[in-house]
Amino acid sequence: MTPELFTPLALRGLELRNRIVVSPMCQYLAVEGAVQDWHYRHHARFALGGVGTAFVEATAVTRDGRITHGCTGLWEDAQISGLARIAAMYREYGIAPGVQLGHAGRRASAARPWEGAQPLAVDGPDPAWPTVGPSPVPEREGNPVPRELKVAEIEGLVDDFRAAVRRARRAGFDVVEIHGAHGYLIHSFFSPVSNRREDAFGGSLERRMRLPLLVAEAVRAEWPA
């Protein structure tokens, strides 16, 4: 273990007291995107541990962008207060609070891991909702086919990220992370496997990168230096 792990780290205008980071861990226990007491207690354990920064789990920028019915969200103002409570707790213990923002894309509408993590049934106890993606290509054979997003809808999703970032600032977070992996929406636009479009958002690497870059630019514009 290197001594640098315990030294401060400057990130633009933010200084972390050390380089230990608590990664975002999905709990799948939110109610309509709102965090519960469980989430507060989950994060309280890390607040007492002396880390440099800690992230709240993958938080959806739209209701349909959740992975499961139990995922957290920042698509409406009512979800700010619960997250603000967690952020304030971290700040109290000298830890920079962070939040991960994302959209599950074609991997949305899934059961919780302990319920199998498979696509939900339309008539199940937790009903499925339609998924979206860059192209009508399911994640695997037999999975629901996502609806191909129209250009206006893609541009609207960039605005959804922008609005979620504003709410994250109001909640008191110091760091925001864009979820661009795991086959979720941003990743699926980047990949030629899932992106079969022939318009400005598909085809060449440059065009497949357009949505990820637009989201990054929107987030950067809303976030303090």
The model's pLDDT over 79-96, given as tens digits with 9 standing for 90+, comes to 999 999 999 999 999 999
Is 70 exceeded by the pLDDT of residue 1?
no
The rounded Cα 74 to chain-centroid distance in angstroms is 9
* Mean of pLDDT values over 89-115: 98
Based on DSSP, count helices (H) and strands (E) in the chain, helices before strands: 6, 9
Residue tagged 């109290």 (tokens): 92
* Mean of pLDDT values over 125-132: 95
Domains of the chain: 3-222 (3.20.20.70)
Share the mean pLDDT of the chain: 96
Q: Which residue in 89, 23, 87, 88 sits closest to 58, CA to CA?
A: 23
Give per-residue pLDDT as tens, 22-79: 999 999 999 999 999 999 999 999 999 999 999 999 999 999 999 999 999 999 999 9
**Residue 28 bears catalytic tag:** no
* Mean of pLDDT values over 155-165: 98
**Helix, strand, coil fractions of the chain, as percent rounded to 5:** 35, 15, 45
Give per-residue pLDDT as tens, 166-214: 999 999 999 999 999 999 999 999 999 999 999 999 999 999 999 999 9
pLDDT of the residue at 56: 98
Percent of the residues in the chain that have a pLDDT greater than 90, as a whole number = 95
pTM for the model: 0.95
Q: Please identify which of the residues 28, 90, 93, 184 carries the catalytic annotation.
A: 184
Token pair for residue 26?
């999905």
pLDDT of the residue at 3: 80
Q: Which residue in 153, 110, 146 sits closest to 130, CA to CA?
A: 146
> Are 134 and 149 in contact, with CB atoms under 8 Å apart?
yes
